[in-house]
A and B are shown apart, each in its own frame.
Chain A
Amino acid sequence: MDALLASAGPLKQRKSRNSGAPKKRAPDHSHKSVSRGTDKESIDPSLHSILPKTRLPSSYHESNLATGSSSAPIKPDASVGRISDKKLRAKIARQDVSAKQAKVQRDEVNEWLNAPLAGGTGGIEVDEEMGERTWRVRQEEIVQEVGVASGSKKFDLKMEGLGSYKLNYTRNGRHLAIASAHGHVATFDWQAGRLHSEMQLKESVRDIKFLQSESMYAVAQKKYVYIYDLNGVELHKLKQHIDPTHMEFLPYHYLLTTVGHAGYLKYHDTTTGTMLTQIPTHLGSPHSMAQNSHSGIIHLGHANGTMTLWSPNMTTPHVKLLAHRGPVTGIAVDPSENSAGRYTATCGMDGTVKLWDGRMWGKEVRTWGMRNASSSLAYSGRGMLAVGGKSGVSVFRDVEKSSSTAPYLTLPLPGLIASGIAFCPFDDILAVGHGKGISSLLVPGSGEANFDSAEADVYESYSRRREREVRSVLEKIRPELITLDTDFLGKVREDKPQTFEEREARSYRQLNRMERLRAQGEEVDGEGGGVNGEGGEEDDEDGEGGEDGGRKEKEKRKMRGKGGSMKRYLRKKKKNVIDPSLLAMRAKVAAQRQAVDTQRKIASGDIVKETGALARFG
């Protein structure tokens, strides 16, 4: 027995309560118990010598790495400390540290592998001292300067008399869908120059959007939204979407979002074909719509100058702000690395472009004027902002950092209005839709060079596309997870209870019987019997007041003197029903009133109260 106890070593030492005297450090030679006197347990130093080194192999320690960067050790988030369950806390802390470690490693991979691959950031470099300016560089000069392969990406499709064009790229930037106001719709692989479908719908078309891939696209037509397949065959007519003006597709949630002249924001699940929700905006026909590709929040710009932020989970906007003095004509959300959905740009008919920070909607970050009556906005993968309007497009660089209003590049379209603009993902292209067709323009340095094949593959094959579609449907995010705060999921909740109910919450054991029944979900009917007011009063007198917490107050006590449960009872009782209890009650009330009246009169001196021996006879 003793051998067993000895071989097993001592118990884990308890935390000593009196930490007054500094402890001696256990010597490093291990496997020899250190005795702490007769009455205390001995310490096995091996345990504590091993522990700190078991986390990470020493070759992985920062100080031993070739980089030699001795950054601070990774610690779990402070919020983890709020978890009261010890085991759970340890688990979450471990996960948090490993997630942070993974992030560091990911950053290193990107730094060492992807940066050389990209060959720098790309863009136009000019000699500022010689008076050269990037915005003076014309498209012809760019085409001359870059290679033939890049130069051929600049093209114009001339289609006159078909109205102004809207356009949309697939997420990998490979395919382009165009739709003219008069009903000309086409989709094509612009790199290979392969036309998928082209049709003349012969009715007005207001918007076009690809769904999860190039194999399906939705067109907002005169009356309804229609869905077509790759070959232009009509698949669905979405009759619930009446008179649509703008559309967005949330690819990870498989939600087609439309808004029409009636101002109803509608979410349609394209995997099941059911309408998820329709929310009235109460702000009329919107002038612009955009999605935040990092949070799934829909931005709407309205005629009265407000911008509203929506999710399918709330019937009211998450954020509603007055962006412009005049209709908001364009909205774009920055998806680039620095912003990741944080910055939003808006332009309005008041001739200004404003930049908003998603962490603080109270005031815009920047505002500047545009003289081209800007009507459309687009952000590129590297955070360049294109402002389209009358007679051309201006592209701005580093809008949230710099304060100069000089554009990075100007792309003039004399006599035309840029009605729809879109940057091509993973390429340095800006496509502009206007009254005479579409133009594909070169904007060096605008696109994200390194794509991720698992996310959006520019060279996606047919089989890989099929696989991706199946996988992405399996991973379809539930619409309830669309939140303004993208970090919300999996966060440790705030320590302090937030709502009144939570603050006042008692444990199940502390509840009384009625509350327990309610907590178990059983309906409690007729809780107070007939005389609601009386019951409540009695409870108050008990001093416990347990039942009153959950009960809804039937009538508000607004006017002075009208309160009192008895009076309320009399008031509510039907006047023409005479029963003895009511009569008794009335008599009681009358007596009370008279008593009060007498008291008042005595106080004011109207009645002189008898004093002395005869006073008792009244």
Chain B
Amino acid sequence: MKIKMISRSLDDHLPSSSTDPHPIQRNLAPHLHPFAKPREYTRALTAAKMDRMFAKPFVGALGGHQDGVYVLGKDPRRVAVVAGGGGDGEVIVHSLALRRPLLKIPNAHRGMVGGLCWSAEARDGKRGLISCGKLDGTIKIWRSEAFAPGIRDKEVFEGNEFGSGAGESSQAVLDTAGAIGESGFDMDFEEEAGGGLSLDAAKRDLLGKNLEPSMTYTSKNGFNGIDHHRTDPLFATASNTVQVWDEGRTAPVSTLAFGSSLETVTGVRFNQSETSVLASVGSDRTLCLYDIRTGKAERRIVMQFRSNCLSWCPTLPTVLLLGSEDHNLYTFDIRNLNSPSQIYKGHVGGVMGCDWSPTGEEFVSGSYDRTIRLWNRDAGKSRDVYHTKRMQRVFDVTFTPTADFVLSASDDGNVRIWKSNASAKIAPMSTRERQAIEYRQKLVDKWSSSGDVRAVKERRHVPASVHNTVTLKRDMIEAQKVKEDRRRKHTRAGKEKPKAERKKAVIAEQKEAGGS
């Protein structure tokens, strides 16, 4: 006879000293872990609720504008600098880190500012701000030491004799760009007017008032948009045609138009990968593609509604995002322009501005309905919606180059900083906290297609006006569809087929005659 019984030694199961952790024994067999699914579901629900609890996306507002802010100019090479152009022709360069203006140029233009962008020099100190006027038909390049505060090194600041080209030293400056002077640690060193951080408001205003543009270009027509070439000293403007300018010449290098079209062009953007490719949207409901090397318009599509804004995906070179007047956003793969690859529905006002995150996985859009929405590239519904009581019509939005924040420019004269992930924690986190957050995120992802988790995750409070418009719009669309259904029912079978939503957006695709 042999008998075996459970016998445990305390040495294995108790900590060897009082400071030791308690020994852990695991048995992963499922029968020792009953209710695995309900428990995980409960945990996921709690996680979803916690996520909503911590969702405080608003970081701060950058004021100083006398009129509404209608354009934003993000410096793609620096994290924390953005320029805002007002309705009264004022341009303010904001520092996000310091949350105060670096420079105010009160009368940059007569009338509204049409567009803002930064030139492509590798050095922060050398880079200029290019602004164009919507009414006065001028383009101005502004260069000031105040754009890159805290750079004291003359050589770094102004460049050596080799100029602003590529080089190891300039690369080093590029790498540290954005960090210099904006970390807030060396706020108090003294410097001559223009470069230092301790600049008081009066001095700064004086500096801005007296600042003369380093270059001015004039045209008969006002400009609605501007975008700079990624590397070369070229920029493109949108007026009634698309014009390409060299920074060193006063007349446009080339004028691009599709056929003999003279309709207003509202926005223009350079592709980020194939940098000579250019896209524009116009008030004739078109999206047009150009190549500046051939100097021709390549092709264009006519859409059902006019697009207000456009943005090229930074990681997928052929993907183009359009924000349309019909409240939707569209992504196009330019290899197949006859239908959008995805429609993004959610806004209840015309989309005024859109911008991709640097990862190309998500983007932000701002709308006339006073909300900002954040979207994933592969989902047609927005992932989040931001609004505040004081924020009026949003005219431009942009992602910061770190993808942490989203900026919005609105009618009420403020540039607002939002977190791109509403519940993200900005402060440093311990590893355990980060792991816990990641685990919660994963749980919500896993259960997000079912039950209450989904309800909690997707529920957003929107202003009453938006809410009412949503219901109204839904009714209207529903009624339209009912009508279509009835009409189809009373026509001969097969005569009127339902048209896919994606096919509806594009009316015609046109190729320039003789274009390649």
Q: Which residues of A line the B interface, CB within 8 A?
A: 1-5, 7-8, 10-11, 87-88, 91-92, 95, 106, 109-110, 114, 119-120, 122-127, 132, 137, 141-142, 145-147, 149-150, 252, 293-294, 296, 335-337, 340-341, 426-428, 442, 444-445, 447-459, 461, 464, 474-478, 481, 486-487, 489-490, 508-509
Contacts and interface: CB of A to CB of B under 8 A. Distances in A.
A141 B29 contact: no
Contacts of A475: 39, 42-43, 46
A452 B5 contact: no
Contact of B34 (A7, A252, A487, A508): A252
Contacts of A149: 7
A534 B334 CA distance: 62
Nearest to A147: B7
B282 to A, nearest CB: 19
A123 B378 CA distance: 58
Interface string B217-235: 0000000000000000000
The residue among A119, A122, A475 with the most chain B CB atoms within 10 A of its own CB is A475
Nearest to B3: A145
B53 interface: no
Q: Which 10 A-B pairs have the closest CB atoms?
A: A4-B274, A450-B27, A459-B13, A122-B4, A125-B2, A145-B3, A452-B27, A106-B28, A481-B38, A8-B318
A92 B449 contact: yes
A145 B4 CA distance: 9
A62 B25 CA distance: 28
B33 to A, nearest CB: 6
A340 B30 contact: yes
A216 B203 CA distance: 72
Contacts of B318: 4-5, 8
Contact of B1 (A91, A124, A252, A476): A124
B22 A464 contact: yes
Contacts of A336: 31
Contacts of A448: 32
Given A447-B6, A489-B38, A132 B27 contact: no
B482 interface: yes
The residue among B4, B24, B289, B336 with the most chain A CB atoms within 10 A of its own CB is B4
Interface string B301-326: 00000000000000011100000000
A122 B3 CA distance: 7
Contacts of A126: 1
Interface in B351-365: none
Given A141-B1, A150-B7, A454-B24, A478 B34 contact: no
B516 A477 contact: no
B333 interface: yes
23 contacts: A1-B277, A1-B289, A1-B298, A4-B271, A4-B273, A4-B318, A106-B30, A110-B29, A125-B4, A126-B1, A132-B1, A147-B7, A150-B7, A252-B39, A450-B27, A451-B25, A459-B10, A459-B13, A474-B46, A476-B42, A477-B38, A481-B38, A481-B42
Interface string B478-508: 1001100100000000000000000000000
B14 interface: yes
Contacts of B481: 509
A293 B449 CA distance: 28
Contacts of A456: 32
Given A296-B35, A450-B25, A459-B14, 12 more contacts: A7-B317, A114-B27, A122-B5, A126-B1, A142-B3, A146-B5, A293-B34, A340-B31, A447-B6, A453-B22, A489-B38, A509-B478
A252 to B, nearest CB: 5
B384 interface: no
A493 to B, nearest CB: 10
B65 to A, nearest CB: 38
A583 to B, nearest CB: 43
B119 to A, nearest CB: 23
Contact of A1 (B34, B39, B516): B516
Given A1-B298, A146-B5, A95 B446 contact: yes
Nearest to B447: A490
A442 B5 contact: yes
B41 interface: yes
Contacts of A464: 22
B233 to A, nearest CB: 21
A110 B8 CA distance: 19
Nearest to B291: A1
Contacts of B516: 1-2
